[in-house]
Amino acid sequence: MKKVLLIILALLLLLTPLFAEENSSYTIEDIKKSMSEGNASLRKAREVYAQSLLDVKDAKANYSPQIEALLTTTYMPNPPIGKTTIGVDEISSQLGVTIPGAVSGEYVTLYKGMDNLYYNAGLTITQPIFTWGKIPTGVKLYSEIANIRALSVEDSEEKLTAELKTRLSALCYMNDLFTLLDDTQTKADELVKMSEDAYKNGMMLKEDVTKAKISALEVSVRRQELTKQYNDNIQNLKSISALDDLDTSNISYTVNEDEINYISSLSEDDVLSLVLGPTNKSLMMLQGQTRALELKKKVASSSLYWKPDFALQISLTYGGSSLPLVEKNWYRTNDYGLYLTFAISTTVWDGGKKLNAVKYADSEVTGSIADYDDAVNKLRSAAEENLTQIELSKVKIEYLELKKEEAKERLELLNTQYNQGLISKTDVLSQEIEVNTDEISIIQEKINLSQAVYTICYLAGLDD
């Protein structure tokens, strides 16, 4: 029996971490970490950045010589030059002498003929000497593009973080809304039932019953709308965080009211100075784009007519029947050569394509400057729009808080009158629904406020 208990205890100890892991909750830092590692758009942005670093390496590689090697092997079953022989008698007649020891009719081999295998090898080294600055300018160009890609990764992560906080805060507020709507629905259903009973007893008009039913349906519609928003929020959070099991049951997050109050208290001048400041990543990327296009224009200008590139080429060639560097005496019985070439290459005329390339690059620079000015205007407009929303939400929340306090005071009075038998329960229920409605409106406005605040955080670079 003791052994059985020990086995059960051991199993419980082994399973405890599994249950604990299953019921573990995700903090904001856990979700941000998962987002940083698993979000598809961030992974794509990092790959694009990695590719741009390879482009920089390729540009720097142009400083180094290009070395190309070629080795071909040809097999000739019937070589074009075969065996060459001459008769002894023919030699004797041409020379007019008798060759000692030679037998009449015998042939002497002058050349045994070509081998069946023939090798051809070559090694070429090309070193650029002067290119009118195209190589260093190209390195700067691709380095600038790499910097833009790096900023793009940071900007994407900050944007996703702002959206993450917005949606998490909205979920917290929605949970409160569900509680209020459930309570309101219960009161509305009770109000409908009591109204129908009062109507049957002749103590209430039919119009009042209809109003009670409309009020109950409005609550039901609100709850359905909230459910849709809630589900959409969850799905978007799963996509952002790359956590498929994410749900409100395993999220450990509370709305940071202090952060929201601090951001919403910033002046318009302070916010605009941050949004349009030199550290704004969107503007930094556009500035980098302009610099990259100016470098592109410089490269195009360096490739104009009568601007030759200079290079030195060294070629080593070999051809013969012996495999080079492997078979013996390959360099003695076969042909090889060494050549030094100084090359000058330039385009004299191509119909104006290179001139058009310079003009096109210049137009791209002008367009990039216009993009920067347009981005400044859009950032300013977005900042002012969200600042206006913040002020509007703060005023509406203040108004709704006062309205709710007044509704609560009236509810206390109605409860007193109801206890004294002066009014019916329906009056009290109607007032309780009004108090809940005011609280629902406050929470909905807090969602609007948090959205505007976290948008400002992203625009101003106030992530943490």
Return the percentage of the chain with pLDDT > 90, whole number: 74
Residue 334 near residue 321, CB atoms below 8 Å: yes
Structural domain boundaries of the chain? Answer: 28-64+131-308+346-460
pLDDT of residue 99: 67
Residue 1 has pLDDT above 80, yes or no: no
Is the CA virtual torsion 23, 28, 31, 34 positive or negative? negative
Which alpha helices (DSSP H) does 201-309 contain, by range?
206-241, 257-265, 268-275, 281-302
Task: Average the pLDDT over 457-462 and give the result.
Answer: 93
pLDDT tens-digit profile of 117-158? 888 999 999 999 999 999 999 999 999 999 999 999 999 999
Half-sphere exposure of 247 (CA within 13 A, CB side): 5
pLDDT tens-digit profile of 228-241? 999 999 999 999 99
Of the pLDDT bands very low, low, confident and very high (cuts 50, 70, 90), residue 6 is very low
Residue 375 has pLDDT above 70, yes or no: yes
Task: Average the pLDDT over 71-87 and give the result.
Answer: 84
Q: Which CATH number is correct for 28-64+131-308+346-460, 1.20.1600.10, 3.90.180.10, 3.30.360.10, 3.10.20.740? A: 1.20.1600.10
In 3D, which of 169, 118, 63, 146 has the Cα closest to residue 320?
118
The pair of three-digit structure tokens given for residue 11, joined into one six-digit string: 């199993």
Residue 308 has pLDDT above 50, yes or no: yes
Whole-angstrom distance, CA of residue 189 vs CA of residue 303:
81
The neighbour count for residue 167, using CB atoms within 10 Å, is 19
Whole-angstrom distance, CA of residue 90 vs CA of residue 88:
5
Tell me which residue has tokens 């013996």: 328
Mean of the per-residue pLDDT values for the chain? 90
pLDDT tens-digit profile of 153-203? 999 999 999 999 999 999 999 999 999 999 999 999 999 999 998 888 887
pLDDT of residue 198: 85
pLDDT of residue 249: 87
Rounded to two decimals, the pTM is 0.84
Task: Average the pLDDT over 384-400 and give the result.
Answer: 97
| Residue 26 β-bridge partners | 251
